[in-house]
């Protein structure tokens, strides 16, 4: 890691401290929330500058543009920006996922961490939903809390990260929201069940109150079971999550946004369950297609020993009766991704981040 001048050394010192995987105990007591109230706030511009200095030998970030999706839906309030991203657990990226075209040097945590932060800082989400987070306590909670986010983490009970030597603890789902925009009303950590059995997959669901509008809404993040052959299992997990969310939202009286890596193509049963749910959900990224009915061609693209994997697995679902999608961040093109696919020196994960701007529907007759 390069040295820096005096003007940035104090902030860089705080950033550098998060690089040590030894900074956090892997015992159960590490699951308690860290107290960041005594830490100074960080200016996001300063942190972005620090990340860019660390990354100065890497290629620049890819350019992605927002697509305007407003349909004459005027709103007097700032939109709510939601970011969904499977960031790739460090232990899995280095130890289990076998990205055969990605140099190990591109996966170094000291730099890959800054690529992840750079992506988050570039899009400035009001709400951030992450999967495969295994550096929560030594990186994301300390830094994002100082950026004004309230942070919640729920690890998998039997994380595959723990099978990797020199791991940084279990991976799981994490949810972050800006405290100056929202108030936490209720929070639920959900361990998903399938066929009446508790599984290794989890979700977080939080009911928030928007300070500006006074409106309540629920935001949820999840990561369903991976791999071919587990389609019925994912379907059962999806049913369990929907049942939990029906209760939390009082049968869709509270608007809902669900972010996640569902590990399921749109052809799978779990996708149809969400599409046909009584919660009246729609998938936000369908709106980028010409007819508004088709999902993107991919949200993850990688090369493993078994071959090339190009799939649509990641979604942002929303209550279409109560929320409008104002805009969505366009995906990377095949040319940008390049022949070696993801992750790479340019991009830190094998999954693309999804970002949407939402506004509350102003028509009260459509709320139910």
Indicate which CATH number applies to the domain containing 238. Answer: 3.60.10.10
354 SS3 class: strand
Say how far apart CA 86 and CA 298 lie, in whole Å: 14
- Give pLDDT tens digits along the chain (368 positions): 333 333 344 454 555 555 444 433 443 344 444 455 567 899 999 999 999 999 999 999 999 999 999 876 567 889 999 999 999 999 999 988 889 999 999 999 999 999 999 999 999 999 999 999 999 999 999 999 999 999 999 999 999 999 999 999 999 999 999 999 999 999 999 999 998 999 999 999 999 999 999 999 999 999 999 999 999 999 999 999 999 999 999 998 999 999 999 999 999 999 999 999 999 999 999 999 999 999 999 999 999 999 999 999 999 999 999 999 999 999 999 999 999 999 999 999 999 999 999 999 976 444 44
Residue 368 inside a domain? The answer is no
In a domain, residue 203? The reply is yes
Alpha-carbon span 21 to 135, nearest angstrom: 8
336-296-114-108 Cα dihedral, nearest 10 degrees: -80
pTM higher than 0.85? yes
**Nearest Cα to Cα of residue 84 among 266, 329, 319:** 329
- Helix%, strand%, coil% for the chain, nearest 5: 30, 30, 40
Segments forming the whole domain that contains residue 270: 80-363
Tell me, yes or no, whether 34 lies in a domain: no
Q: What separation, in Å, do the N-terminal and C-terminal C-alpha atoms of the chain show? A: 54
List CB contacts of 272: < 8 A, sequence separation 6 or more. none
Q: Is 29 within the bounds of a domain?
A: no
| Distance between CA atoms of residues 162 and 302, nearest Å | 23
Determine which helix (DSSP H) or strand (DSSP E) holds 116, and give its type and residue range.
helix 109-123
10 Å Cβ neighbour count for 61?
14
Q: What is the DSSP letter of 60?
A: P
- Residue 182 placed within a domain: yes
Number of domains in the chain: 1
**Is 216 part of a structural domain of the chain?**
yes
Question: Does 87 map to a domain?
Answer: yes
Q: Does 91 map to a domain?
A: yes
DSSP codes of every residue in 209-251: EETTT--EEEEEEEEPPPSTT-HHHHHHHHHHHHHHHHHHTTT
Secondary structure (DSSP) of 282-296 = EEGGGGGSTTS----
């Amino acid at each position: 890691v390069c040295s820096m001048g005096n003007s940035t050394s104090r902030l860089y010192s705080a950033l550098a401290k998060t690089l040590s995987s030894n900074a956090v105990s892997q015992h159960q007591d590490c699951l308690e929330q860290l107290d960041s109230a005594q830490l100074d706030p960080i200016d996001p511009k300063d942190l972005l500058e620090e990340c860019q200095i660390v990354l100065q030998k890497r290629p620049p970030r890819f350019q992605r543009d927002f697509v305007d999706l407003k349909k004459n839906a005027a709103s007097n309030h700032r939109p709510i920006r939601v970011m969904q991203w499977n960031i790739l657990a460090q232990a899995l990226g280095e130890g289990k996922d076998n990205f055969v075209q990605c140099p190990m040097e591109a996966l170094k945590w000291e730099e890959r961490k800054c690529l992840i932060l750079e992506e988050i800082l570039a899009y400035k989400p009001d709400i951030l939903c992450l999967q495969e987070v295994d550096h929560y306590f030594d990186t994301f909670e300390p830094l994002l809390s100082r950026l004004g986010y309230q942070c919640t983490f729920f690890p998998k009970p039997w994380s595959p990260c723990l099978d990797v030597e020199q791991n940084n603890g279990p991976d799981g789902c994490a949810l972050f929201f800006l405290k100056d925009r929202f108030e936490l009303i209720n929070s639920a950590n959900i361990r998903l069940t399938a066929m009446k059995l508790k599984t290794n997959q989890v979700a977080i669901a939080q009911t928030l109150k928007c300070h500006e509008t006074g409106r309540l809404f629920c935001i949820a993040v999840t990561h369903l079971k991976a791999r071919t052959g587990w389609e019925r299992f994912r379907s059962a997990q999806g049913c369990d999550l929907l049942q939990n969310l029906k209760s939390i939202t009082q049968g869709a009286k509270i608007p809902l946004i669900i972010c996640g890596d569902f590990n399921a193509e749109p052809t799978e049963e779990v996708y149809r369950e969400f599409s046909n749910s009584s919660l009246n959900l729609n998938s936000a990224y369908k709106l980028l297609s010409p007819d508004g009915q088709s999902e993107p061609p991919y949200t993850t693209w990688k090369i493993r020993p078994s071959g090339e994997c190009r799939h649509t697995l990641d979604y942002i679902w929303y209550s279409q009766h109560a929320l409008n999608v104002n805009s969505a961040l366009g995906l990377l093109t095949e040319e940008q991704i390049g022949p070696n696919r993801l992750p790479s020196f340019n991009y830190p994960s094998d999954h693309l981040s999804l970002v949407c701007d939402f506004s509350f529907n102003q028509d009260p007759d459509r709320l139910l």
